[in-house]
Structure 1
């Protein structure tokens, strides 16, 4: 028993002695390996890319201007119609009777006026010879003047009734595509009804409404002053359609910091449909002496964007930058001088002041080079 206790004591002392020895220090890691790129200064095309909505240039709800019943529906739902094409006819019998009565009144008054003018000329000849008194001539003249006024009033009534009768024939105000028809022959229609008889939408040409950042407004206005702002729409089938910017809003949306624009496109094949989302690209000129770096060199911080700048002593320093736009995987930045060497790859785990080893410089992007050439 004593021998066992002595053995246990010996093992315990050996264990404590081993634990009391200092641990070897952890091996120190070397400088982080990174890839570098050089900020370049060159002219780059300014292409604004935005997601917009297709909107018609003209869209109108067809409603009656008089209370009546529908006699005929001259088109089908979804039909393409021409400007001036007849859409509906209404029951116009009452106002048509008033129009016919106005026409008859004109003919009667014209006949009465013709007779009164003949009488006036005859009385004027008789008055010269002294066969009748001058008062008889004055009476004839008064009758002629009265009938002339009645004729003018009758003609005005005829014009008024003609306008009223025209309300019973409803035609398309412009060429477009008809929507759903909500009335049928015999339906009662009224000017104050909630639902329109149909909605007519112009499809060719058509527009795309989109927004651009307010910082691009000076460039847009400068390019517009030199000529048309060329726009391109990307179609659902992958095709492209050329157009032009026709509208720049007169105010900036302060809440969003954007400006509203509209681009117009030919749309004979109806590929651009009202309400669709569409990608728009606008050629807004050329930005002179822009500073470009690879887009992956820009890192996102909690409240800013920055890059790591290589220092002469092999360390890095963070530098705040602002991205104006991305051009072929190259970021156009503000706040960085041209010629500055920045960390392109490997900056995610760095801290300001960290030592780094550059393993290679980033090759210049071919597409960006061609764009800036």
Structure 2
């Protein structure tokens, strides 16, 4: 009996279809010279099963942090600074003392106006007493009408002088109060612009210090004008939440609410400006800071999401590899609504409970048989894929 031999020939054919390579194995019987194709080896991949969940829909824009109020603390009088009562960068409340101007000249002016008022008051008291006596004498025929009229005029003149004195006293008291430079708002002090011993003037351009209110605070950001109808529709239902993130979108800074949609569209950029208010109790938002604003438009119930790594870009747009019941994969075009935190919300193209490949796509082509990796093997395959993608 002739001895049968089997020759196993491995033909490796690298095909640039789908960016992968297919390996075909054939077994050739030397007696019949018939080639029998063997199943191609399964491609190891990492996959996940799609599930539905409530997915927040965000509109994202770049914004600038704007202080509610910024005040340059200036003096309303001229004088020498005798005391600085704050530290640069210190939180202050409205009415807190920031600096003291030498009050002695203004106290002396107040004392002088008070003394003048007291003198005029004494003269008025005497004139009123004389008027009373002249009136009594006039009733008895011992005083002329002219004398009575003169005395009445003197009393009226002194009464007017006292009113003027009272006004001067009030003005002097205000001037004396101006020697105390206080914060008009609650906020954070900036860099001090003048030192103790210097003369401060009302015309000084930099004043004493700038106080900036940072709690609460605002962010002004822009979005494409095409988003305006959706924003107006959701605003009609209630307040919209806005999240502020750092420029790299990794650090959440604060949560606030949308306060204003600007009353005009910027024609040069085709965008609309919006203003959001934040409590900023942690002082993580700082005036002038650039941040990313995420406007929560709505929460979609039963949304289909996949890992962002599952979505590939092809000549016809985004697609994924879907694993079928027979263990092979097929390309499926999808529509991505948004990407957030490494997950893509799929608007169309996928259904719940389907399985998609999230790593290892570079070795696949339509119809490839796959082996689903899990646990440690999946992590190792992800690492290998990362290395392969990094190689030019």
Q: Tell me if both proteins adopt one fold, taking TM over 0.5 as the criterion.
A: yes
User: Is 1:170 equivalent to 2:191 in the alignment?
Assistant: no
CA contact (8 A) 2:89 2:190 kept: yes
The one-character-per-residue Cα deviations of 1:330-366 (angstroms, maximum 9, x if unpaired) are 5788xx9999xxxx99xxxxxxxxxx97889xxxxxx
Task: Return 5+ residue gaps in structure 2 as ranges.
Answer: 1-14, 20-53, 320-332, 352-356, 359-364, 370-392
CA contact (8 A) 1:84 1:174 kept: yes
CA contact (8 A) 1:56 1:203 kept: yes
| In structure 1, C-alpha distance between the alignment counterparts of 2:339 and 2:100, rounded to whole Å | 57
User: Is 1:242 equivalent to 2:255 in the alignment?
Assistant: yes
Q: Secondary structure of 1:226's match?
A: coil
User: Is 1:128 equivalent to 2:139 in the alignment?
Assistant: yes
Q: How does 1:106-145 map to 2 (within 5 A)?
A: 106-145=117-156
CA contact (8 A) 1:45 1:287 kept: yes
CA contact (8 A) 2:243 2:252 kept: no
| In structure 1, C-alpha distance between the alignment counterparts of 2:69 and 2:157, rounded to whole Å | 49
| In structure 2, C-alpha distance between the alignment counterparts of 1:204 and 1:169, rounded to whole Å | 25
Alignment counterpart, residue 265 of structure 1, candidates 260, 271, 279? 279
1:87 aligned partner: 98
Deviation at 1:150, TM superposition (A): 0.8
1:189 aligned partner: 200
| Structure with more strand by fraction | 2
CA contact (8 A) 2:337 2:344 kept: no
Distance 1:240 1:86, change over 3 A: closer
Q: CA RMSD in A?
A: 4.7
How many residues are aligned here? 311
| In structure 1, C-alpha distance between the alignment counterparts of 2:74 and 2:213, rounded to whole Å | 17
Q: Secondary structure of 2:88's match?
A: coil
| In structure 2, C-alpha distance between the alignment counterparts of 1:359 and 1:259, rounded to whole Å | 50
Deviation at 1:252, TM superposition (A): 1.9
The one-character-per-residue Cα deviations of 1:256-299 (angstroms, maximum 9, x if unpaired) are 123232322232x32323333333322234689x9999999897
CA contact (8 A) 1:214 1:259 kept: no
CA contact (8 A) 2:254 2:284 kept: no
Relative contact order higher in (CA < 8 Å, ≥ 6 apart): 1
CA contact (8 A) 2:264 2:272 kept: no
CA contact (8 A) 2:67 2:218 kept: yes
Deviation at 1:84, TM superposition (A): 0.5
Task: Return 5+ residue gaps in structure 1 as ranges.
Answer: 1-28, 34-42, 309-317, 346-355, 361-373
User: Is 1:224 equivalent to 2:230 in the alignment?
Assistant: no
Deviation at 1:233, TM superposition (A): 2.7
TM-score (norm 1): 0.65
| In structure 2, C-alpha distance between the alignment counterparts of 1:229 and 1:124, rounded to whole Å | 79
